Amino acid sequence: MESQKSIHHMQLHPGPFEKMKSGLKKSELRLNDEKRQQVKIGDYIEFTSRSDSSQKILTAVNYLKMYPTFHELFLGVQADYPTWEEEDFIKSMYEYYSLEEEATYGALEIGVELVTSNPSTICPECGSPSADNLTCWDMLGIICSWEWSDSELQKEHFLTVASYNLQHPAQFEEKALSQLRTALAEYLDHGVSPSELRRRASTAFEGSRKVLKKETDRITHLTQWPMTISAVYAEGNARGAAERVRDWGKSIRENGM
């Protein structure tokens, strides 16, 4: 099981925002308050420009360093920002934070790496880029429609839907997901047929088939996968889709799901 990654939201002034968007700014320096203490390595931070809230970038956190004071923070990051003067830096921090806050929380350097400069175009759950403005769900519908004229693809229907669901797990109960992971492994490793898998699943659930989570209990986490549905959709190219579905399923299996 992939570890759960959260998306945090922060704002940036236009200058630093543009620098981060172009990849020149690789860290964000903040008070290490309760909000920042939630940030873990591997999480994502979506930065919004303070001057235009429609401007967003998505970054991944690659390291975290804590410092007792803004002075120590400055010394720690000096090499990355050679043009900065300590006095100006400290002054800018006190525009946001008080001495009391500095003493209480200390400072945090958050190392970030740009994931995309246009996060509205990626799926918040599987990270797939949207092709032709289609969501993952739209692409699934189109791929399934190809099954009508592609018997090889039709045979992989189980794999198509299982792969989609495993990469979009927020709506499902954990028990249903673990069942599905087992079924995918059985199918890929031992060639167990979908009808046999269905039979086993209904026995395991003993009638109480609670598959979907309540809408209010669903939490979306972004996970990065080596292959997502957009690669199967392949810009609407139906040819060879069965082969791509098998690669997709295998890549999910190999990634430990």
Q: Which of 31, 110, 122, 123 binds Zn ion (CB under 5 A)?
A: 123
Residue 248 near residue 232 (C-beta atoms within 8 A)? yes
Q: How far is the CB of 23 from Zn ion (least distance, A)?
A: 25
Residue nearest to Zn ion (CB): 123
Q: How far is the CB of 227 from Zn ion (least distance, A)?
A: 12
For Zn ion, the closer CB: 49 or 128: 128
Q: What are phi and psi of 11, to 5 degrees?
A: -110, 155
For Zn ion, the closer CB: 27 or 228: 228
222 is an interface residue for Zn ion by CB under 5 A: no
Window of 37-45, 68-76, 127-135, 199-207 that interacts with Zn ion by CB under 5 A: 127-135
For Zn ion, the closer CB: 179 or 228: 228
Q: How far is the CB of 21 from Zn ion (least distance, A)?
A: 23
Helix 70-77 and helix 86-96, axial crossing angle in degrees, nearest 10 = 130
126 is an interface residue for Zn ion by CB under 5 A: yes
Q: How far is the CB of 239 from Zn ion (least distance, A)?
A: 23
Strand 44-49 to 7-12 pairing: parallel
Window of 14-22, 131-139, 204-212, 217-225 that interacts with Zn ion by CB under 5 A: 131-139
> Looking at beta carbons, which pairs linking 168-175 to residues 24 or more positions away fall under 8 Å?
168/123, 168/125, 168/126, 168/136, 169/125, 170/125, 170/213, 170/218, 170/219, 170/220, 170/221, 171/212, 171/213, 171/218, 172/211, 172/212, 172/213, 173/210, 173/211, 173/212, 173/213, 175/210
Here the tokens at position 60 are 């991944």
Site for Zn ion in 31-60 (CB under 5 A): none
227 is an interface residue for Zn ion by CB under 5 A: no
Q: Burial of 206 by CB count in 10 Å (0-12 exposed, 13-18 middle, 19+ buried)?
A: exposed
Window of 91-99, 116-124, 185-193, 208-216 that interacts with Zn ion by CB under 5 A: 116-124
How many positions of this chain bind Zn ion (CB under 5 A)?
5
CA distances from 246 to 155, 188, 228, 231, 250 (A): 11, 9, 12, 12, 6
Site for Zn ion in 133-172 (CB under 5 A): 136
For Zn ion, the closer CB: 17 or 225: 225
Q: How far is the CB of 138 from Zn ion (least distance, A)?
A: 10
State the distance between the two ends of the chain, measured CA to CA, in whole angstroms.
5
Chain positions contacting Zn ion, by CB under 5 A: 123, 125-126, 128, 136
